[in-house]
Structure formats: C-alpha cells, structure tokens
Structure 1
Amino acid sequence: MALSMLLPLRRAGAATLARASARLATAPPRTMPLAAALAGRRWASSQPAAPDEADVQRLAKLRNIGISAHIDSGKTTVTERILYYTGRIKEIHEVRGKDNVGATMDWMDLEREKGITIQSAATYAQWGDTNLNIIDTPGHVDFTIEVERALRVLDGAVLVLCSVSGVQSQTITVDRQMRRYNVPRISFVNKMDRAGANPRRIIDQIRTKLKMPAAALQVPIGAEEAFEGVVDVLSNKAIYNRGARGEDVVYEDVPAHLADAVQAARDELVSVLAEVDDEIGELFIEDRAPTTEQLHDAVRRATIARKFTPVLMGSAIKDKGIQSLLDAVVRYLPTPTQVRNTMLDLDNNEQVMDVVPYSNQPFVGLAFKLEEGKYGQLTYIRVYQGTLERGQFAYHVRSGKKVKISRLVRMHSNSMEDVDRVGAGEICALFGIECASGDTFTDGKTNCSMSTMFVPEPVISLSLTPKDKNSPNFSKALNRFQREDPTFRVHVDAESKQTIISGMGELHLDIYVERMRREYGVDCVTGKPQVAFREAATQKSEFAYTHKKQTGGSGQFGRVIGYIEPIDPEEQAELPHEFVSNVVGGNIPTQYIPACEKGFLDGLREGFMIGHPIVGMRMVLQDGAAHSVDSSELAFRLATFGAFREAFRASKPRILEPVMTVEVSAPTEFQGNVLGSLNKRKGLIVDTVTQEDYCVVTAEVPLNNMFGYSTELRSGTQGKGEFTMEYKRHAPVLPDVQDELIKEHQKKLAEKK
C-alpha cells in the first residue's frame, strides 16, 4: 500500500543524528567551565597550541545571543531598541508602524504586512567594549525551526515575556528548545506599561511552569500607565530613561516608598541563589550577608550553569529598561570559551571530540541557515574554532568537496558588510557554497562533523497545483524552500500524482505558497490531499464470463468460470491478494493462465467504485473455454478483467479508509476540549492517561477527518496541545460517506468526458 502521503517522512541522516545524540548524551553539559569540560577529553587537534592573548581578550568581549519568546511578546521591538541604543541604526521603526517602514529585522514584505517575524535575522552590535552577535527569532509555532537552528549556534539567550500574558504556549516550547541545546537565558518581562502588568506573577510562572529557579534583579517604579523605570536590586539605584527615545540613562536614589520592596527583593534573590550556588549557600547558612560583587558573580555562575534565570523588566515600546538588559547580557551570559561544544571524529568511529574555541586551531564551522540572496545562496556559518578568511579553501565534510571562500560577509538583517577574516566564536555568511542546513565545514586537517539540529516532523499537508503547469519556476521554488527549511517537505503521491507539501502549520504553508507567487511568479491552488482509500469485497461472488469480439479475420475469444472471495489483508500481509488456477482438462490452455492472472491484477490496480486500489481479494479460476483460432493472451486477459469487474460489483463491495492512531497531549484543564474535538471527528477513544498536570489521549481517527486538526487543537488548548499521528489500518467508511464518495467519483468522470 502506498502510504507515502500518510506517514511522516524521515530526513536523510536520521541514523547519524541518533548515533550522535547517544554519544553526546553522556558528554558534560555545554556550559561547563572550559578547563573542566576538556579534562580527560580528546582535543580537536593532538597538541593544541596555547591561545593567543589577543584572541582570549577578543573572546572575553564577545556574546552570541538570541531573542526568543511567544508570538507578540515584543522580541522584534526589543531587538530594534538594542540596535538603536548600540548605534547600529539611527531611527526606531515599529513592527506595525504608521510610517510603513517596519522594524529593521523584519525585512521581508510579508513580515511587515502581517506584523510577525517569519525568518530569523542576524545582526551584530557593540555595547561598550563588548561585541554582540544577535539573532531575532520568530515566535509563531509554525516557524519553530528558525528558533531551533538559532539556539543551536548561540551561547546565550534573552527570553522575553509579556507582563500580562506571562508564560504562554510558545514560551514553553522555546524553553524546551533552550534546554535541548543547553542555552543559558536571561528573562525580560516586557510591556510593563500595559494594563494588568504583574511581574510578580510572571516570576512565579517561570518557577512553576518552566521549572526554572528565578528571582528579580529589579523592582518596577510604578506599573501600567504609571510605569516610570526600575530599581536595581544589587546596586540599590533607581534607573530612569530620559530623552526623546530613552537614550539618556539616569541613576537616582531609590524612592522612599520602595525601600522595603527593594530590600525584600534582595533577600529573595539571596534565598533563591543560596539553593543553586554553593558560595551563597555557605554565606546563607552562616547568616552572613553577601556583598554586591559576590551576588553578581553568583548570578553569573548560576545563569551559565542553567540553574537560575535573572529576571529584568521594562517596556520596549516605551523605550524603558533596554540598556539595563544589555548590561545584564554582558555581565551574566557566557562567552564562547565558557560554552562546551562537541563534534564527532569521523576517522575514529565518531568519537566525541571537544571543540577548542580559539582562532589558532584548525577551522571548524557549522552551516545553520540557508537563504536565497540577490547574489545566490547565502549560507550562515557559526565558526566554532579556527578562522575563516576570504580566499581560503574549506572542505564540505558531507560531500568531501573542496570549496573556495570567495566572499565573506557579516549580516545586518538583509544588508551585509564584507569582511576579510572571521575568528572563532563569530557568526558570518558565505556566498556561492552549495550545502544543506546543518552541514559541517573544516579546513581539511580535522575530519569531523558537528552534531546536527533537531528537526520536528511536519504535522499538516496540502496538495499544491500550479495554475501554469508549464512554469519551470514551480519545481525551482520548491527545491529552494526545501533547502532553506528542513521542516518544509515535498513529495509526489504515487496514487493521486498530486504534489503534496507538508509543514508545521497552515500559516507555515500559506507563507510558502504566497512566497512562490511573489518571488517566482507562480500562482498555485491548494487543496486537501487525496486520501489513500481502498476498495474491498465483503462476500464470495461467482463469475462465468465470456469475452468475444469479431472484427473480420481472427477475432478475440476467451471464457472464464470461477469465483472471487475476500481475504484478510492483515492476516496475509505478505500476500495481500491471491490468484489460484484450478483449471483441469486443458479447457484453458496452460499458456493463457498467466494472462488470466494479469487480467486479475489489472482489476486490482484501479477499483470500480471510486478508482482506488482493491485489496484483500482471492480469485479462483475453475473452468473456461478457448477457441483454436480466436483465443489469445489478450483475449483471456480481457476476459478475466471483465469477469472480475462483474463479480466484484456483485460482492457487496465497500470502501476502506485509513485510520490513524492519534496521540494528543495537553494540560489537564483542556482534557474536555481534546475529547470533544476527537469525538467530533468520529474518533474512537482508546486510552486516557493523566500525568501530573498533563493528560495524554490516544484515539483512532479516520485520516480523512484529521485535516485542519492542528489548528483546531491549538485554538482549543491555547496553543499548549500537541499531537502525533501514525497509520493504524484501513477500516470501512460509513454507508453515507461511501455514497458521497461514489457520487464525487462519478462526477469527476463525467467532467473528463
């Protein structure tokens, strides 16, 4: 049975990823101190040279960070302020601003029209003497691969939370991704100017929903419309933003009415840190107050170890709190040398090796994102060790090809700056390199491969038909989008011959269909894919069929007698159909028996109810007749086909549809919604298990009723529900559904005539 359109496709290299995951599972955490992480481990080169002092200083002043959050939490607005205060841009533009310019990092027309981030965008800036590589990521769950690959190459992240909505569904997803790649984070409670702002509740949600110890480093001065600034708990200073765009940071004494709240916040910070940091824990037990510097150091240690997240607050849209956030990024997030990255030694049975993050080592880089630029394919590279220089040669590990680096750029949204050299720990982009997302490049001295990123399976599919079927751009666009986005899959269904596109959600696929129209001039029509129905007999049916045709000269004659009967295709999986010849006496010459079997197989290939394959059939040929002149292989093949058609129609046939095992997980508060939606789709509930605050519902649901379910599930569970689906068996459709399917098929046949 051709179920290619039903079952998730596996990406090439899944076995390698599984092996890599197993090896890396036993490796020390990514953010261990470098000396401890490398103790007793293999180095990337046999005798690594001592790092250059200038390179050590450069890396100490480098941060690779991402801005991640649930949709509409203000990530892009925060990034826009960061670029403004660091001097990268001269004017601030809003995501949906009235000037129709749009935020710097949302450079695609679709992003500016819809007011959402679709593609992650990279940029760089400088805060004081620290260089920042920044990636702004989408918040919508449909574009989760953009977050996935950004976090794969980043050393730290800023988790933005709405002061009203708090921890939402995609916040939980982003938290899971950060844990997958061991990325430390700073939490920033945004939108403090909104009605209902409550940072206290958000901190509690971080602790309970994300299971991450957290404490505030700041106390807000006012809230909602009265939000004026924050008090830094450690320095005991009030921080205000003055000037037209908040560019002037003013430090003042703590307002008298907030003195007790600030002291309480400091005590709580010490209490939380005492549970996750040994030094503060000892001071706490001895009832000694830690110094401000000791608290700074403890916050940094606990944050890098991913045992704690410091919480800051502000309002990006009101230009408040961003400079303090930048100070915290520099102070608390790790440098590239404080993050442990590993690779697999391909010459030594994929043994785990440690990346040495210095520029005087052999070059190793990971291509983590592809993008079609004005000058060809743009490949984003994170340089993990060594240097990358314009004009040098690099080796593509997967293909073994040697490629020349003809142009090297640093990205600022969709604009770029040419550079001659990029050192370890940096993020850059290359032109003219043919590769796939997740490929490793080296200088040829080290035959190794970085572990690839996690790619979630698609959850929704659509059929796609171009209006102009002769357009060469249709396949060109699909090939490009597949290279850019590992979660976007394309295949042609063997039965329906439809082009099927699969992705993470309806918005995900709609965006690509719209991009095909805008970027390639290809208008497409989308529709629900044709489901792989089957046809089957329900009872034994006899036949006695004669095929004769006289056209002058020798004609065609063949007579077959016997019966057909249903068999259980699941019990006889190795032989889903069977042809048996019990003809004796030579009534049908032996040389024509194979032709009779071919006629039977012809009938199975395309059914007589709705044109889908027939399954679970046995045909027994008992007798027949032949003519010495007019009989031939073709005559008996046509006779058997006609006999099978008549017998099948008399066997009370039925249509079978694929039934899927659907497993839905959602918070227990939405269990009723989940059960109701599955029942509405004619699902049979098989099992329900409650685990802590989550429930897992297993059901058997017809595939034909499952299209659009991902959107319904998200809306019914506030985006917190997830589901998996796999083929179970084919089962009979209801009588009214069968009648409707037959009418539709007959209508299509009439339209073709």
Structure 2
Amino acid sequence: MFQEHTQLSSICGAAVSATAVFFFKISSTTAATTTTTMGRFSRSSFLSSSSFQQLRRQFSSESQSVKRVRNIWISGLIDPEKVTQRERSLLYEGDIEEMHRVRRRNEMYHKEIEESSRKEYIQSKWNKNIRAGVTFFNWKHHKINIIHTPGRVDDFTVEVETALRAFDGGAIDVLCGVNGVQSHSIAVDKEMIRYQLPRLIFINNLDHKGANPWQVLNQERSKLQHHCAAIQVPIGLEDDLKGLVDLVHLKAYYFHGSNGEKVFVEEVPAHMEASVSEKRQELIETVSEVDDKLAEALSSDRLISGAELEEAVRRVTIARKFIPVFMGGYAFKYKGLQLLLDGVTNYLPCPTEVSNYSLDKSKNGEKDILVALAFTLKERVGQITYLRIYEGVIRKGDFITDLNFGKTFEVPHLIGLRNDEVELQVPRSIEVRKDDMGVPYLIGESQEVQEAHAGEIVMVHDVNNASGDTFTDGLVRYTRTSIDVSV
C-alpha cells in the first residue's frame, strides 16, 4: 500500500541532513505579550501588536538574482524510502552515472544489485533524521531551496514549526494517485493554510495499478475544499502511462530513457484533442472565477493564449486563491518531475513576493537593518547554523547578535547554498579546512561567499545558538513572531 505522501524530496534532490536542537524560549521582554490558550502558545497577540511592521526588502543590483530563488516546503512521511528514488534524483543531478532498481514486495524492499559502497554513498545523501533537511539545486536558471520536514506533520511538531517559518515561498503537497486524500492529507492542508503558503499539488503513482487522478482531484475539492484544477492530462494510465499533456501551452511531453531523463515535446495526440480541450476549458473557467483579468478575457469570447493563462495561474496561485494540480508516475515509469519543477519556477513566488512580519522591540525604525532566522542546525565539524535572511545583508566578518540570548558573534565564514557552475549538479564532497587561526570550516558541500542578501539561505559555523533564534545586526531588536506548539 502506497503512502499518500511519497518522499518528494527524494525525487527532487539530495537532501542535506540537518541535525537540529530546539529550545522554546520566551524572553522577559516578550513574556508579557505572550498568551497561552488551550495548551498552545498563540501568536495572535503578536500579530495584533502595533509594533509590527512589514519587513522591507531592499535589494541591491548584486541581489537581483533573488527573483530566481524559490524557497519551498515538501510534505512527506518517514517510511522505508526507495533507493530507486534517491538514485534517480542523484542521476538527474549528474552525481551518479547509472541507476539500480528497488521494488516493493510484501512491504519489504529488495535491491536487485547490491553495492555496499554505493548504498553508503546514497544513504549519506539521504540520511533519514527526525530533523529538518535542506537541499538545493539549480533548475533552468533558478535556484530551488527545499526543506523536507521529518515525519508526519503531527510528529516532531516543534521542528516542523521552526523550519516552516524559513520556507515561506510555497509548498508541494504530494498525493497518491491510488489512495487519494487520506487523514494525513488533511493535517498537511491545515498547516499550509495556517502558514498561508501558496502551493502545488502533485498526484503521483499514476503508473501504478488502480491509479485515478480525476477521482483524487474530486476528493481535493470535496474533502479539502480546494479551488483547484488540473494543469496536465496524463497520456494513458498504469502500465500505459506514456507522458503528459500540458494544458497551459497545449504540448505533449514524453519521457524516455531508463529513468525518464530524456524529455521530448510533441503536439497533442489526435485522439486526445477533445478531452484536452475540455480540461483546458475547465482550467480557464476555474481560474477566471478568482482572476478578474482572465475573466474579462474569457467574456470577450476570444482564444486564451498559453502565456496569458500562465500569468493568470501564477497570479492566483501566489494570492492563494487557486491550486494547480500536477501529475506524474514515479512507481515505475519516472514521468513528470521535470514539469513539476517547471511549475515551481513558473507558479510559486520568489522571496520578494512574500510578506513577512517581525516585532520591533526597539521602536527605532532604522532603515538599514538585518533580520535573520536560525531555522535549523546540524553537527558535523562544530555546529552549522542555517540562516534565512528576511531583511538586510550579512557579510563575512560582520558581527551579528542573537536576540534570544543577547550574545554577539562574528561571522568568520559565510557558507552559501550555491551551485552555479552546472545545473542539477550535486555539490561536491565535503572538505574540512582551517583558517589562519586554526578554526575548521567546510568547503565543497557549498561554497564560501562574501555576502548574502534578503531571501537567501546561508550557513554560519560555530555560532552557539538554538533553532528558532532571531539574529540582527545589534542595532535593532526585531524578532520573528512566535510559533504555535503543542505543550
């Protein structure tokens, strides 16, 4: 029986295990404004405070590339993940040259070809952990940062809550094309609503016996109350799944090669023209219900172009008025991932298109400020802290202040999640070096950068902090809003 939320992070990229430690702290300066309701810490009192101001993002010419950044959340489950999916993602990224097959038999996984060194390598890339994992890759001149939260949404709540604050650029919710919407789907949906995340739906396993994407789509509408429509139509189902038709641009995509890595674009098959036209009209009408510009074009009784429809879908997706539904088959056929990644870049927002709020405890109103959140940690050579920058710039050698502890730290090395040389290339193996003072630092997994701007994610080394801490330049006392955690 397939889980309804396949580990899409195991499809999209090699997740970097992020070992995190979290301490929920309420400082004396904020305790008076924190309320406890029904055993949960509420953030409503913060949101109603007049001290809030929307974070101002000021981008220099060097940071314009942030428009090509996507920070997204992949919902998933901890289960015996298929090494097949892990290897396939590494293959797409160019880190391995071939794949071996893993099949499910009576809830057990049997590897047809066993290579211990190979297995160790892939497992190190995909180390399952109860902590949040972060990975990134480049896709068509865009940088996609992905967070994979551990387990079910109702497990490891604090880790999930902390990590999701950093990845506010959208989400992908994976549904099984066989089992459809299940109880966990409802829990995930509530989290996405609470965090006001634009999202995509990916209906997976269309190459598995019993797959019915239209039944799953109807369940989304009836059980989850989604205002959604299909962006694609599968060309065949189960063993006959051959490809997908893009309803926006009316092109058929076929995935060849042993792992679906070769994509061919053709015209819509003649026998599907009627059904494709019907589904495209349904998509247009669904989007036009929440987009005045497209509704006006529709009322003029003219043909809606692909570019026009794509822009409308992007507008309403970012506004959280509509959810595009993508499809694919990754049980056996390996079809659809590339189009889903196109959907991430085309329909989900960049950091400049997302609103975030902070609590100004200094009330100084400085313009050139720094606000960053430590959303997860990992231990390798000392502590590595992952920072999401919300405003301002961090530069190598800067001093940053942890508002939760009141301590100031220097940033001797600023490690960027970067990989600009080759698209879909897994970062190089980790190498430990020492600076002139003998302090070890990491290279290879990423690359050291001189500065990082708002919207970016970077790592700093040997900063003694906890997950969830807020960092500033020390001139202001901004802090991120409180989180809701069960106690």
Q: Any residues of structure 2 matched to 1:580-599 within 5 Å, and which?
A: none
TM-aligned CA deviation for residue 283 of structure 1? 2.9
Local SS of the residue matching 2:189: helix
Structure 1 residues 17, 330: closer, same or farther in 2, change over 3 A? farther
Structure 1 residues 312, 12: closer, same or farther in 2, change over 3 A? same
Structure 1 residues 71, 250: closer, same or farther in 2, change over 3 A? same
Rounded Cα–Cα distance in structure 1 between residues aligned with 2:240 and 2:295: 37
Structure 1 residues 234, 102: closer, same or farther in 2, change over 3 A? farther
TM-aligned CA deviation for residue 87 of structure 1? 4.2
Q: Any residues of structure 2 matched to 1:160-559 within 5 Å, and which?
A: 160-317=174-331, 318-348=333-363, 361-371=368-378, 373-410=379-416, 416-420=445-449, 421-457=451-487
Query: Aligned residues: percent identity?
Result: 41
Q: Which position in structure 1 is the counterpart of 2:165? A: 152
TM-aligned CA deviation for residue 120 of structure 1? 2.4
Amino acid at match of 2:459: A
Amino acid at match of 1:153: A
TM-aligned CA deviation for residue 287 of structure 1? 3.8
Local SS of the residue matching 2:286: helix
Q: Which position in structure 2 is the counterpart of 1:66? A: 73
Rounded Cα–Cα distance in structure 2 between residues aligned with 1:418 and 1:84: 22
> Is 1:344–1:450's contact at 8 Å kept on the other side of the alignment?
yes
Rounded Cα–Cα distance in structure 1 between residues aligned with 2:323 and 2:82: 18
> Is 1:283–1:290's contact at 8 Å kept on the other side of the alignment?
yes
> Is 1:220–1:231's contact at 8 Å kept on the other side of the alignment?
yes
Q: Deviations over 1:687-736 (max 9, x none)?
A: xxxxxxxxxxxxxxxxxxxxxxxxxxxxxxxxxxxxxxxxxxxxxxxxxx
Rounded Cα–Cα distance in structure 2 between residues aligned with 1:204 and 1:15: 46
TM-aligned CA deviation for residue 122 of structure 1? 0.8
TM-score, normalised via structure 2 length = 0.77
Amino acid at match of 1:224: E
Structure 1 residues 337, 108: closer, same or farther in 2, change over 3 A? closer
Structure 1 residues 109, 187: closer, same or farther in 2, change over 3 A? closer
> Is 1:69–1:171's contact at 8 Å kept on the other side of the alignment?
no
Q: Which position in structure 2 is the counterpart of 1:138? A: 150
> Is 1:365–1:441's contact at 8 Å kept on the other side of the alignment?
yes
Q: Deviations over 1:451-471 (max 9, x none)?
A: 1333233xxxxxxxxxxxxxx
| 1:55 pairs with one of 63, 81, 86 | 63
Rounded Cα–Cα distance in structure 2 between residues aligned with 1:315 and 1:376: 41
Amino acid at match of 1:380: Y
> Is 1:118–1:143's contact at 8 Å kept on the other side of the alignment?
yes
Structure 1 residues 109, 259: closer, same or farther in 2, change over 3 A? closer
Local SS of the residue matching 2:156: helix
> Is 1:388–1:423's contact at 8 Å kept on the other side of the alignment?
yes
Q: Deviations over 1:383-402 (max 9, x none)?
A: 11222233221011122211
Q: Deviations over 1:586-610 (max 9, x none)?
A: xxxxxxxxxxxxxxxxxxxxxxxxx
Q: Which position in structure 2 is the counterpart of 1:620? A: none
Rounded Cα–Cα distance in structure 2 between residues aligned with 1:132 and 1:324: 14
TM-aligned CA deviation for residue 270 of structure 1? 1.0
> Is 1:164–1:194's contact at 8 Å kept on the other side of the alignment?
yes
Amino acid at match of 1:419: E
TM-aligned CA deviation for residue 422 of structure 1? 2.3
Local SS of the residue matching 2:409: strand
TM-aligned CA deviation for residue 245 of structure 1? 2.1
Amino acid at match of 1:308: F
Please provide the CA RMSD for this pair.
3.3
Structure 1 residues 289, 22: closer, same or farther in 2, change over 3 A? farther
Structure 1 residues 336, 451: closer, same or farther in 2, change over 3 A? same
> Is 2:235–2:243's contact at 8 Å kept on the other side of the alignment?
yes
> Is 2:137–2:145's contact at 8 Å kept on the other side of the alignment?
yes
Q: Which position in structure 2 is the counterpart of 1:534? A: none
Q: Which position in structure 2 is the counterpart of 1:618? A: none
Q: Deviations over 1:155-190 (max 9, x none)?
A: 111111111111222222121111111111111111
> Is 1:88–1:125's contact at 8 Å kept on the other side of the alignment?
no
Amino acid at match of 1:432: D
TM-aligned CA deviation for residue 44 of structure 1? 5.5
Rounded Cα–Cα distance in structure 2 between residues aligned with 1:337 and 1:89: 35
- For structure 2, the 5+ residue unaligned runs are 1-22, 36-41, 103-108, 418-425, 431-444
Local SS of the residue matching 1:276: coil
Rounded Cα–Cα distance in structure 2 between residues aligned with 1:292 and 1:160: 25
Q: Which position in structure 2 is the counterpart of 1:22? A: 45
Amino acid at match of 2:396: R
TM-aligned CA deviation for residue 232 of structure 1? 0.8
Rounded Cα–Cα distance in structure 1 between residues aligned with 2:100 and 2:374: 31
Amino acid at match of 1:162: C
> Is 1:365–1:440's contact at 8 Å kept on the other side of the alignment?
yes
- For structure 1, the 5+ residue unaligned runs are 1-9, 28-40, 112-116, 458-753
> Is 2:246–2:252's contact at 8 Å kept on the other side of the alignment?
yes
Rounded Cα–Cα distance in structure 1 between residues aligned with 2:334 and 2:375: 32
Structure 1 residues 108, 255: closer, same or farther in 2, change over 3 A? closer
Structure 1 residues 127, 386: closer, same or farther in 2, change over 3 A? same
Rounded Cα–Cα distance in structure 2 between residues aligned with 1:276 and 1:362: 37
Structure 1 residues 348, 54: closer, same or farther in 2, change over 3 A? closer
TM-score, normalised via structure 1 length = 0.51
Q: Which is richer in helix? A: 1
Structure 1 residues 68, 89: closer, same or farther in 2, change over 3 A? farther
Structure 1 residues 221, 43: closer, same or farther in 2, change over 3 A? closer
TM-aligned CA deviation for residue 229 of structure 1? 0.9
Amino acid at match of 2:44: S
> Is 1:192–1:224's contact at 8 Å kept on the other side of the alignment?
yes
Rounded Cα–Cα distance in structure 1 between residues aligned with 2:119 and 2:248: 37
Q: Deviations over 1:371-425 (max 9, x none)?
A: 3x12222222111122223322101112221111133334679953241232221
> Is 2:207–2:330's contact at 8 Å kept on the other side of the alignment?
no
TM-aligned CA deviation for residue 278 of structure 1? 1.3
Structure 1 residues 274, 122: closer, same or farther in 2, change over 3 A? same
> Is 1:172–1:210's contact at 8 Å kept on the other side of the alignment?
yes
Rounded Cα–Cα distance in structure 1 between residues aligned with 2:409 and 2:224: 44
TM-aligned CA deviation for residue 310 of structure 1? 0.5
Local SS of the residue matching 1:142: coil
> Is 1:66–1:150's contact at 8 Å kept on the other side of the alignment?
no
Amino acid at match of 1:367: A
Amino acid at match of 1:327: D
TM-aligned CA deviation for residue 53 of structure 1? 3.3
Structure 1 residues 15, 233: closer, same or farther in 2, change over 3 A? farther
Structure 1 residues 293, 145: closer, same or farther in 2, change over 3 A? same
> Is 2:203–2:328's contact at 8 Å kept on the other side of the alignment?
yes
Amino acid at match of 1:64: N
Local SS of the residue matching 1:327: helix
Structure 1 residues 325, 79: closer, same or farther in 2, change over 3 A? farther
> Is 2:260–2:335's contact at 8 Å kept on the other side of the alignment?
yes
Structure 1 residues 399, 135: closer, same or farther in 2, change over 3 A? same
